[in-house]
Amino acid sequence: MPSFRSIQPVAHTPLQMFELVADVERYPEFLPLCESLRIVRKTQSGEGIETLVARMGVGYKAIKEVFTTRVTLDRPRLRIQVEYVDGPFKYLENRWGFQPTDTGCDIEFYISYEFKSFALGMLMGAMFDKAFHKFSEAFEKRAGVVYGKPSLTSPDQTGV
């Protein structure tokens, strides 16, 4: 099953980058292949953890698909976990982590997936792989738009 892992250094705090990735409704504005995103349900726990159920529309030219995921936003640990609920995949798992560095943070991105249909996997697989390679870069560019020039004034660099 295809998977992709990357670690991208950025000059923004871990909290800034967490909040940027957690703002899933903005994805269609800047994320490759993402055409739509709607939050279906949102729940909070008393431990700083928020869970979203979201429907994302992806596409490239005439190929369009919609799928549903459960997104767990763990603010205290600066982690995001995405689990597959429904759609064209047999399996989908996505994880994000944000580790402080001396100059900002490292964005850790991991995704593993498999399409239900072999034919769809052949059609969309290469496009997904290409898009995943651009995800961290897309979020880094988005951080520049949202936060402007990086400012790392927090002594522990977490931004908390």
pLDDT in tens, the chain (160 residues): 788 888 989 999 999 999 999 999 999 999 988 999 999 999 998 789 999 999 999 887 788 889 999 999 999 999 999 999 999 999 999 999 999 999 999 999 999 988 888 877 776 767 777 777 777 788 889 999 999 876 555 444 444 4
| Phi and psi at residue 124, to the nearest 5° | -90, -25
Q: How many domains does the chain have?
A: 1
Q: Does residue 153 form part of some domain? A: no
Q: Which of 33, 32, 4, 2 is nearest to 121 (CA)?
A: 2
Q: Does residue 152 form part of some domain? A: no
Q: List C-alpha distances in Å: 85 to 30, 32, 55, 82, 107.
A: 24, 21, 10, 10, 25
Q: List C-alpha distances in Å: 128 to 31, 82, 93.
A: 12, 16, 14
Q: Does residue 120 form part of some domain? A: yes
Confidence at residue 90, expressed as pLDDT on a 0 to 100 scale: 92
Q: Does residue 122 form part of some domain? A: yes
Q: Does residue 116 form part of some domain? A: yes
Q: Does residue 102 form part of some domain? A: yes
Where does residue 89 rank: exposed (0-12), middle (13-18), buried (19+ CB within 10 A)? buried
> Which residue carries 């549903």 as its tokens?
68
Q: Which of 100, 94, 101 is nearest to 80 (CA)?
A: 94
Q: What CATH number has the domain bearing residue 143?
A: 3.30.530.20
The model carries a pTM of: 0.85
Domain interval for residue 53: 3-147
Long-range contacts of 69-72 (CB under 8 A, 24+ apart): 69/94, 71/24
Q: Does residue 158 form part of some domain? A: no
Q: Which residues pair with 42 in a beta bridge?
A: 52
Confidence at residue 20, expressed as pLDDT on a 0 to 100 scale: 95
Q: Does residue 110 form part of some domain? A: yes
